[in-house]
Amino acid sequence: MTEPALPHWLAWAREIQALAQNGLAFTNNEFDILRYNRLTEIAAEIAANHNSIHAGNWQEQFAAERGYATPKIDVRGAVVREGKILLVQERSDQRWCMPGGWADVGDLPSAMVVREVLEESGFEVSARKVIGVFDANRDGRPLNFFHAYKLIFWCELRGGEARASNETLAVDFFDFKHLPELSSSRTNERHLAEVRAHLLDPQRATAFD
């Protein structure tokens, strides 16, 4: 599979920010600290030039990242009922996606996706299988500035009922051939195609980038 190209500005800014963060994590030299802080400022200026967010806000966000820079983890639950996929409508962009979100420190990945599905949709599920592990920044619109991996779990429906949340406007099941407008940074056509492939072939191997 040919790897989709990242926008040059994003690849450069992300690498500069990660190098600066890693440098600050390991140095005690005051001159190196000044240099790494300046690299952080440059990364923020690049990001601000391509977004509506001010460079100072990017710097503040970068400063909150401590220690060695590693990818973030986004978990999503694939829940199918009578051949239809469970999607939630995000308040942030009014588009639809599989329920999920950023993984929390200390949680098992499987426990995290079960909780996210319940909180965002009102449905109780159990995680049964990892459908795929995707590079979230090389497939569709990037989640945000930081590099992220997306873990999609096959989840068995156990109970509950549709209920919106403080993050979601609506909850519904959709035919794979008649999908609403997707929140592509959270769920895109490739993710749903893989879910459907696992629905048709339960023995299908886990997909990964």
DSSP string, 115-139: HHHHHHHSEEEEEEEEEEEEETTSS
Does residue 3 fall inside a structural domain?
no
> Please, which pLDDT band fits residue 94 given cuts at 50, 70 and 90?
very high
Give me the pLDDT at residue 106, please: 86
197 vs 148: which has the higher pLDDT: 197
38: which 2 tokens? 């300046």
Separation between Cα atoms, residue 180 and residue 174, nearest integer Å: 8
Domain assignment of residue 33, given as a range: 8-63
- How buried is residue 205: exposed, middle or buried, by Cβ count under 10 Å (0-12/13-18/19+)? exposed
How far is the CA of 176 from the CAs of 65, 105, 118, 183, in angstroms? 38, 33, 22, 15
How many Cβ atoms are within 10 Å of 125's Cβ, its own excluded? 25
102 and 164 part of one domain? yes
Give me the pLDDT at residue 1, please: 44
b/e 167-188 (16+ beta carbons within 10 angstroms → b): ebeebebeeeeeeeebbbbbbb
Separation between Cα atoms, residue 100 and residue 116, nearest integer Å: 5
23 and 78 part of one domain? no
141 and 187 part of one domain? yes
129 and 204 part of one domain? yes
Does residue 166 fall inside a structural domain?
yes
122 and 186 part of one domain? yes
Quick one: average pLDDT of 143-160? 88
How far is the CA of 41 from the CAs of 21, 48, 176, in angstroms? 11, 10, 44
Lowest mean pLDDT among 21-35, 78-92, 128-142: 128-142
Give me the pLDDT at residue 193, please: 96
Give me the pLDDT at residue 53, please: 66
Q: Is the pLDDT of residue 143 over 60?
A: no
26 and 104 part of one domain? no
100 and 203 part of one domain? yes
Give me the pLDDT at residue 202, please: 94
Cα 105 versus chain centre, distance: 15
Separation between Cα atoms, residue 174 and residue 148, nearest integer Å: 27
68 vs 190: which has the higher pLDDT: 190
118 vs 141: which has the higher pLDDT: 118
171 and 84 part of one domain? yes
Lowest mean pLDDT among 59-68, 96-105, 141-150, 155-164: 141-150
Residue indicated by tokens 């429906």: 157
Separation between Cα atoms, residue 10 and residue 31, nearest integer Å: 27
29 and 112 part of one domain? no
CB 153 within 8 Å of CB 128: yes
Secondary structure class of 160 (helix, strand, coil): strand
